[in-house]
Amino acid sequence: MPEPLWQPRSDRAARLLGLGFIGGGAALLYWQIGATLDQARAGATRVEYSFTLIVFGVMWAGLGLWWLVRGLAGYTWIRAAQRDRRSLTIIVIVIVAVALVARWLLSYKLGSLGFTE
C-alpha cells in the first residue's frame, strides 16, 4: 500500500490529525443527532436522520480520539490493522456497536418527543 501524502510523520502531526477528525466527527454527529433533536423540540412534523452518517461520525471521532491519545503509534497501528483481519473486525464491531447505541438513544429520545419511526 503506497504511503499517503498527508501521513503524519511526528506525534504532534498525528495528534493534530486526531483533533481534526474529532472536530469533523463531532460536527457530523451534531448535524445528525443534535439538529434532529432541535427540530423535534421545535415542533417539526417530520424529522429525518441518516444512520450511515452517524456511523461515519462515530468512526471519525473514535479514530481522532485514538490518534490524539496514542499519537504516531496509534496512527501506525491503524495503518497496520488494515491488513490484519482480526484487528479490523474488532474495530468495525466497536464502531457499529457505538453507532447502534447512539441510534437507539436518538430513537428513544425522539419517541419521548412523540415521533415514531
For residue 74, give every residue at least 6 positions away whose Cβ sits within 8 Å of its Cβ, in sequence order, or none: 14, 18, 66, 67
d(CA 79, CA 20): 18
Name the DSSP class of 3.
Answer: P
Instruction: Please report the pLDDT score of residue 2 as a whole number.
Output: 67
> How many other C-beta atoms can be found within 10 angstroms of the C-beta atom of residue 32?
23
Instruction: Please report the pLDDT score of residue 28 as a whole number.
Output: 95
Instruction: Please report the pLDDT score of residue 4 as a whole number.
Output: 66
User: Tens place of pLDDT for every residue, the chain, 117 residues?
Assistant: 566 667 888 899 999 999 999 999 999 999 999 999 999 999 888 888 899 999 999 999 999 999 999 999 988 888 888 888 898 898 889 999 999 999 999 999 999 988 876
Instruction: Please report the pLDDT score of residue 99 as a whole number.
Output: 92
d(CA 53, CA 37): 15
Q: Do the beta carbons of residue 72 and residue 10 sit within 8 Å?
A: yes
Q: Do the beta carbons of residue 55 and residue 95 sit within 8 Å?
A: yes
Instruction: Please report the pLDDT score of residue 18 as a whole number.
Output: 93
Instruction: Please report the pLDDT score of residue 106 as a whole number.
Output: 92
Q: Cell 497496520 identifies what position?
A: 80
12, 14, 72, 68: CA torsion to nearest 10: 90
